[in-house]
Amino acid sequence: MFVDHVKVYVKGGDGGDGMVAFRREKYVPNGGPAGGDGGKGGDIVFIVEEGLRTLMDFRYKRIFKADRGTHGMSKNQHGAKAQDTLIKVPPGTVVKDADSGETIADLVEHGQTAVIARGGRGGRGNSRFATPQNPAPELSEKGEPGFERNVILELKVLADAGLVGFPSVGKSTLLSVVSAAKPKIAEYHFTTIVPNLGMVETEDQRSFVMADLPGLIEGAHEGIGLGHQFLRHIERTRVIVHVIDMSAMEGRDPYEDYLTINEELQQYNMRLTERPQLIVANKMDMPGADENLEKFREKVGEDARIFPISALSRQGLSNLLFAIADLLEVTPEFPLIDEEADESESTVLYKHETDADGFTISRDSDGSFVLSGYAIERLFKMTDFSREDSIRRFARQMRGMGIDDALRERGAENGDTVRLLEFEFEFMD
């Protein structure tokens, strides 16, 4: 069984709090501020681990939180940065933001890393707030909260062998008889719209992953049919198993089919033609298939390796599987280099601020005003409400963000209740 799609919650560590402290040295009365900054919270980092093949590990653990930074200390000592939390993912994992659907990272090569949720920065200690007007501020920031988000992990097919060919030639049928996979099978074209994976075991106990890929047609490299996206998957297979409908029941010529598909592979990426390929002559149970195979052999030449089978009546399968396993043993992994990186898929986007203003105002049923939004909540969490200086700074920052004006516009008057997270205060005009 393959888990290839999973949603997880990640949160970077909070930053450590800044400190309010003053120098107290002998002979130095009224020493200046000496509160250190908090350390940065740890990041949530995904790292590619070659040995992993599935997203199975995420089945039971779906919440990841990184450690918080250490708090700042007296004598201007800064808190330590927290260790990042490393999470291993298999090669071929694409990470998307669950809300926006944007691709955050396309993790392909062993050891490749991506920061998925950044830790918060440390809060500043009071030394940082000293000014000529206020040389001894009783003011420090709390650590910035770590960024949090839900992400979707998708494992792209990283199969050993990939079944390619025109629609309805019997690719899914073949996968279904050599593995436990249960792909949909039907006589209409493009039955398969997403790749299916199956674990195949040969009679001599060798195993490999086979991918049943959606059908290709002429022009696939230009996006015709289900084209492009699947050609991408083929890039991630080591051996190409080219399936041909030898019964020619749909009126196409098997040899023309063979040339057309190879042309598409080449048009898409020259390097795909370097990949070892086996030819499967399927539907040999049908009348006329034998004669078609003879003609095909003549045209394709001696060197081509052709395996006549009937997926439907399960004929000729074990020889084919042995041949695939043999070929895999001598075929190295192909480096997955995206020559012209597909903008939409490989761009890394960090969009943590969703609302442009940084806040939104709504009304509760009891008439109070409710403030929410990333920027204002972040500010709130970084404020130490036990100190006058901090509270005053918070009020100033709210005004600076235009929140007072916005509340007034919404009809807030002196004494009205304003709510923000678990906190309530009175609006003062």
Ligand X SMILES: Nc1nc2c(ncn2[C@@H]2O[C@H](COP(=O)(O)OP(=O)(O)OP(=O)(O)O)[C@@H](O)[C@H]2O)c(=O)[nH]1
Binding positions are 165-172, 190-194, 212-215, 282-285, 310-312
Site of tokens 């404020």: 383
Cα 178 to Cα 197: distance, rounded to the nearest angstrom: 11
Count the residues in the chain. 429
Candidates 171, 221, 233, 238; binder of ligand X (CB under 6 A) is 171
Q: Are 236 and 216 in contact (CB under 8 A)?
A: no
Phi-psi region of 358 (alpha: psi -120 to 50; beta: other; left: phi over 0): left
Candidates 285, 389, 404, 416; binder of ligand X (CB under 6 A) is 285
Q: Does residue 385 belong to the site contacting ligand X (CB under 6 A)?
A: no
Residue 234 beta carbon to Mg ion: minimum distance, rounded to whole angstroms: 14
Candidates 15, 143, 167, 373; binder of ligand X (CB under 6 A) is 167
Candidates 172, 237, 260, 383; binder of ligand X (CB under 6 A) is 172
Cα 247 to Cα 250: distance, rounded to the nearest angstrom: 8
Q: Does residue 191 belong to the site contacting Mg ion (CB under 5 A)?
A: yes
Helices (H), 248-288: 254-268
Q: Are 36 and 87 in contact (CB under 8 A)?
A: no
Q: Which does 186 bind (CB under 5 to 8 A by kind): ligand X, Mg ion, none?
A: ligand X
Q: Quote the tokens at residue 179.
A: 């593995």
Neighbours of 392 (CB within 10 A): 11
> Which of these segments, 144-152, 172-180, 254-262, 322-330, binds Mg ion (CB under 5 A)?
172-180
Residues 198-227 that bind ligand X (CB under 6 A): 214-215
Site of tokens 């790749």: 195
Q: Are 44 and 117 in contact (CB under 8 A)?
A: yes
DSSP codes, 162-203:
EEE-STTSSHHHHHHHHBS------SSTT---S-EEEEEE-T
Per-residue binding letters, 180-199, with ligand X (x by CB under 6 A): -----xxx-xxxx-------
Q: Which does 168 bind (CB under 5 to 8 A by kind): ligand X, Mg ion, none?
A: ligand X
Cα 121 to Cα 147: distance, rounded to the nearest angstrom: 10
**Please, which residue, 215 or 227, has the CB nearer to ligand X?**
215
Q: Does residue 312 belong to the site contacting Mg ion (CB under 5 A)?
A: no
Q: Does residue 314 belong to the site contacting ligand X (CB under 6 A)?
A: no
Residue 226 beta carbon to ligand X: minimum distance, rounded to whole angstroms: 9
**Please, which residue, 92 or 167, has the CB nearer to ligand X?**
167
Cα 328 to Cα 323: distance, rounded to the nearest angstrom: 9
Candidates 85, 172, 237, 292; binder of Mg ion (CB under 5 A) is 172
Binding residues for Mg(2+), by number, are 172, 192
Q: Which of 373, 362, 364 is nearest to 401 (CA)?
A: 373
Residue 191 beta carbon to Mg ion: minimum distance, rounded to whole angstroms: 5
Q: Which does 169 bind (CB under 5 to 8 A by kind): Mg ion, ligand X, none?
A: ligand X
Q: Does residue 283 belong to the site contacting ligand X (CB under 6 A)?
A: yes
List residues near Mg ion by CB under 5 A: 172, 191-192
List residues near ligand X by CB under 6 A: 167-173, 185-187, 189-192, 214-215, 282-283, 285-286, 310-312
